[in-house]
């Protein structure tokens, strides 16, 4: 089932790895704007790169 979240904002804490990263990717694939939050800047950048690799326009 595809859910359209275009125009929606999602804030996901702990989104640099594991379930949080998976949720962030799923939300982005559904069209949401996702705010990635984490304690380690390098891990946040890594998570963003992972999401952008999967969804180039993200």
DSSP secondary structure string, 12-41?
A: EETTTSHHHHHHHHHHHHTT-EEEEE-S-H
Tell me if 26 is assigned to some domain: yes
3 part of a folded domain: no
The 10s digit of each residue's pLDDT in 1-56 is 789 999 999 999 999 999 999 999 999 999 999 999 999 999 999 999 999 998 88
4 part of a folded domain: no
Nearest 5°: the CA angle 41, 39, 6 is 80
Residue 24 inside a domain? The answer is yes
> Residue 47 to residues 4, 13, 36, 53, 55: CA-CA distances in angstroms?
22, 12, 8, 10, 12
Q: Does 58 have pLDDT greater than 80?
A: no
pTM of the model: 0.87
| Residue 38 in domain | yes
More confident residue, 57 or 8: 8
Say what the pLDDT of residue 57 is.
Answer: 79
Residue 19: give the domain boundaries: 9-54
Q: How many domains does the chain have?
A: 1
**Residue 4's pLDDT is what?**
96
């Amino acid at each position: 089932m595809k859910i359209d979240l275009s125009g929606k904002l999602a804030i996901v804490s702990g989104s640099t790895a594991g379930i949080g990263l998976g949720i962030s990717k799923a939300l982005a694939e559904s069209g949401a704007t996702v705010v990635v939050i984490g304690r380690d800047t390098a891990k946040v950048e890594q998570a963003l790169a992972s999401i952008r690799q999967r969804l180039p326009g993200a």
